[in-house]
Amino acid sequence: MVRGIALQADPASRLKRLLNSSPMRQSLWLSLLFLLVSAISLSVSYYVARHSQEQALQDSLIQDMIGYRATPSATALVRLVQAEMSQTDARRRLISYRHLGGQVVAGNAAITQQQEGFGLVVLGENPTPVHGSFLLLSERVHGGLLTIALSAEPLHELRETFVGVFLFSLLPTVGIALLGGMFLARRSARSLRALDAVLSRLTSGDLGARVQAERMAQADLGRIGSSINRMAEAQEKSTAALKQVSADIAHDLKSPIQRVAVQLEHLRQIEALPPQAQQIADQAVAETSSIVDTFQSLLQIAQLEGGSPRGRFAPVDLRALVSTFVEIYEPVAEEEGRRLNLDLPGDPVTVPGDKALLGQLLANLIENALRHTPPGSDISVSLTAGASPILTVRDFGPGIAKAEQTNVLRRLYRLEQSRTTPGSGLGLSLVQAIAELHEAPLDLSNADPGLRVTLEFGVPGVRVAKPSALSI
Amino acid sequence: MKILVVEDDSTTGPYVAKGLREEGHTVDLIANGREGLLQATTCNYDILILDRMLPDLDGLTLIKTLRGAGNRTPAIMLTALSGVEDRIDGLEAGADDYLVKPFAFGELSARVAALARRPGYQTQETCLQAGDLEMDLVHHRVQRGGQEIPLLPREFTLLEHLLRRKGRVQTRTMLLEAVWDITFDPQTNVVETHISRLRAKVDKPFESDLIETVRGAGYRIAG
């Protein structure tokens, strides 16, 4: 169920993830670049083409003007203009002739100019029956101003052609690039998800997890996958070696200890043994068992730190566990005149974990408090509910100086004040290792008076499920 | 009972064999895994006691092979490894019980007795009895000599566990596992404290003691 939530993201965040993926971003950038380059080259060719078109229009205006200039007199020019006007299409060509500073003598008044030279006008308002833009040339001829205008429509047509070329050639290209990018992004996202899943399985202690690198479509991701596989293999081998060494040490040391225990047992069974010798034998038995305990804790810490699998994690009710352990230790505390206070929430508090290890953690914390505080002082164990349950074990003893608080988590470290109390100096290191395995940060602080040890568990439900099969 | 001990350690093996013989069992001792497997498959034993690390063939493979061949003889695994993982590995391979070295003979003997009596609970029982003590399982009441003894729930469980195994020694680790579901060994003598509380209610006000301490092994209610 938890896993389902993680994978089924809402559409908005899926789109965001898709856009953020590197192939998608690459194809977006490439499309943008392609668009930009094409736009620049098209505009340059457009301006070159437009310029030569304009030049052609101007040349033809100049040619026309030379023709009119060839008329012998103003009257002849007026007649020629009138004759031309009746024959040419007003949408293509317009002519007007007027006296300087006076009214139009012949032609279309719409295009009259005040000055000589080239110009561009746009006609369209009433009462002119003529529309569109025109390129015109005005020059003095026979004491009047002659203006010839040619339709600039070819220039517009040119622009439309270029816009058409732009739209019909570029947009599909960009669209195809984007779709391709999306396709690649989704494909590589699948591979990346697979890599990610394998990596998180490896970090959570499942050293058998492997990437199916040969099935990855992208060669580069496949290579990364193979590297991850090689790394996992090396890690698996060294963990196996560590386990083998631990097992060998355990076997090679414990067998002699077992023999000592057997011999001590024989010694104790001798009927004629004087009481003093009996007592020494008892002490020796106690010592052997404390050697075994120290040794056991060291092995266990090494195993926990060497990537003990979280695969066996199951939901654990912390409330029930805490209450059981307080119940177990209550009589011990009461014998020393202590109260073991318990503060629990009303509902079960479930976290993913290893019940046996969490029990050991609780036992170590309570025993630690019992051992390092004077008889008669109380101990409080509390648990809070909520998204991040907090387990607190607090005593009312001398506490631990701030400077020593990190030291006590070190293996075999013992405070000067605790040299005479029993214990291996491994209790809190083991607590630390178990806390780390459960991703519950361990914090030691002064409660004034006393030591407060807190563990904050993560959000319940996270990391319980692990993907059983990977599809790439 | 006929017991096969497969243990290569030259001190532990004979010690276990001798102790079991003294208790009246027939014991074969073998120091090699492969020979042990051969022996276990050719003769019928009531109980197997296997070391985990053995020459030629280790205890885990031995028990796996036996179980694979359909042999269901109860087996106790002796081992130097006591991590939860190791216990689980051992039990998953097919061992019925698991004992961590170094162990006292009393512990082994108690576990052998416990295995021999499996499946254990006679579920129809509504009343357990020892001497003049009576436990009413239906109403969760305990009486001794007609006098009602109020017990806390966990004290009741502890007493019930001892009563159901009347005459058999229950070691500290067996009690921790059965009553509190704890598989590790606490540094503090919690079992002793709980037993002494139970004694204060069940034995102290009366003339005779029901709960016996078995030196070097554990506790027992005489049957």
Instruction: Answer whether B216 sits within 8 Å of A296, measured CB to CB.
Output: no
Minimal Cα distance from A370: which residue of B?
A: B188
Adjacent-strand bridge partners of B75: B48
Triad A436, B175, B201: Cα angle to 5°: 120
ipTM > 0.95?
no
Q: Tell me the CA distances in angstroms from A203 to A196, A198, A254, A299, A460, one per residue in order.
A: 11, 9, 32, 21, 19
Q: How far apart are CA A413 and CA A421, in angstroms?
A: 13
B152 has pLDDT over 70: yes
**Please, are residues A319 and A326 in contact by the beta-carbon 8 Å criterion?**
no
**Please, are residues A8 and A467 in contact by the beta-carbon 8 Å criterion?**
no
**Please, are residues A398 and A415 in contact by the beta-carbon 8 Å criterion?**
no
Q: How far apart are CA A125 and CA A127, in angstroms?
A: 6
pLDDT, residue B135, reads 93
**One digit per residue, pLDDT tens: chain A, 472 residues?**
333 334 445 677 777 777 777 777 887 888 888 888 888 988 899 999 989 988 998 999 899 888 888 888 888 888 888 888 888 777 788 888 887 766 777 777 667 677 788 888 777 655 556 677 888 888 888 888 888 888 888 888 888 888 888 888 877 878 887 888 888 888 878 888 888 888 888 887 778 888 887 777 677 888 888 888 999 899 888 888 877 777 777 778 878 888 888 888 888 878 888 889 888 988 888 888 888 878 877 777 777 776 666 667 889 999 999 999 999 999 999 989 999 999 999 999 999 898 888 999 999 999 989 988 898 999 999 999 888 899 999 999 888 888 777 777 776 676 666 656 656 667 788 898 898 888 888 888 888 888 999 999 975 444 433 333 333 3
Instruction: Answer whether B84 sits within 8 Å of A250, measured CB to CB.
Output: no
Non-local (6+) Cβ contacts of A345 within 8 A are: A319, A383, A384, A385
pLDDT, residue A134, reads 84
pLDDT, residue A101, reads 66
Instruction: Answer whether B187 sits within 8 Å of A422, measured CB to CB.
Output: yes
Exposed (0-12), middle (13-18) or buried (19+): which is A112, by Cβ within 10 Å? middle
pLDDT, residue A200, reads 87
Q: How far apart are CA A436 and CA A50, in angstroms?
A: 74
Report chain B residues whose CB lies below 8 A from the CB of A299.
81, 83
**Please, are residues A340 and A304 in contact by the beta-carbon 8 Å criterion?**
no
**pLDDT (average), residues B154-164:** 92
Q: How far apart are CA A151 and CA A129, in angstroms?
A: 14
**Please, are residues A211 and A191 in contact by the beta-carbon 8 Å criterion?**
no
What distance in Å separates residue B194's CA from the closest CA in chain A? 7
Place of tokens 């006007």: A85
Adjacent-strand bridge partners of B170: B219
Triad A235, A240, A242: Cα angle to 5°: 95
- Phi/psi of residue A98, nearest 5 degrees: -145, 160
Report chain A residues whose CB lies below 8 A from the CB of B80.
247, 250-251, 253-255
pLDDT, residue A191, reads 83
B34 has pLDDT over 90: yes
Single-letter amino acid, residue A178: L
Report chain A residues whose CB lies below 8 A from the CB of B180.
324, 328
What is the end-to-end Cα distance of chain B in Å, rounded? 20
pLDDT, residue A462, reads 41
Nearest to A257 by CA among A283, A300, A279, A289: A289
**pLDDT (average), residues B63-86:** 86
Single-letter amino acid, residue A386: G
Residue among A293, A356, A359 whose CB faces B187 most closely: A293
Nearest to A26 by CA among A172, A169, A180, A166: A180
B38 has pLDDT over 60: yes
Residues of B with CB under 8 A from a CB of A: 9, 11-12, 15, 52-53, 80-85, 88, 101-105, 154, 180-190, 193-194, 196-197, 216
Triad A331, A336, A338: Cα angle to 5°: 80
**Please, are residues A55 and A202 in contact by the beta-carbon 8 Å criterion?**
no
Instruction: Answer whether A265 sits within 8 Å of B103, measured CB to CB.
Output: no
CA A346 to chain centre: 38
Place of tokens 């005149």: A337
Place of tokens 């009710």: A317
Determine how many CB atoms are found less than 10 A away from the CB of residue A2.
12
Q: Are strands B26-30 and B2-6 parallel, antiparallel or unpaired?
A: parallel
Interface test with A, best of B8, B84, B175, B214 (most A CBs within 10 A): B84
Exposed (0-12), middle (13-18) or buried (19+): which is A213, by Cβ within 10 Å? buried
Place of tokens 């099935």: A215
**pLDDT (average), residues B100-123:** 77
Beta strand ranges found along A358-420 (DSSP E): 379-384, 390-395
Nearest to B95 by CA among B73, B127, B80: B73
Q: Tell me the CA distances in angstroms from A317 to A345, A359, A362, one per residue in order.
A: 12, 11, 13
In this prediction the pTM is 0.60
**Please, are residues A122 and A151 in contact by the beta-carbon 8 Å criterion?**
no
What distance in Å separates residue A330's CA from the closest CA in chain B? 9
B136 has pLDDT over 50: yes
What distance in Å separates residue A22's CA from the closest CA in chain B? 42
Q: Are strands A144-151 and A132-141 parallel, antiparallel or unpaired?
A: antiparallel
CA A328 to chain centre: 46
Question: Which helix H or strand E contains B77, and what residues bound it?
Answer: strand B75-79
Non-local (6+) Cβ contacts of A233 within 8 A are: none
Q: How far apart are CA A432 and CA A361, in angstroms?
A: 9
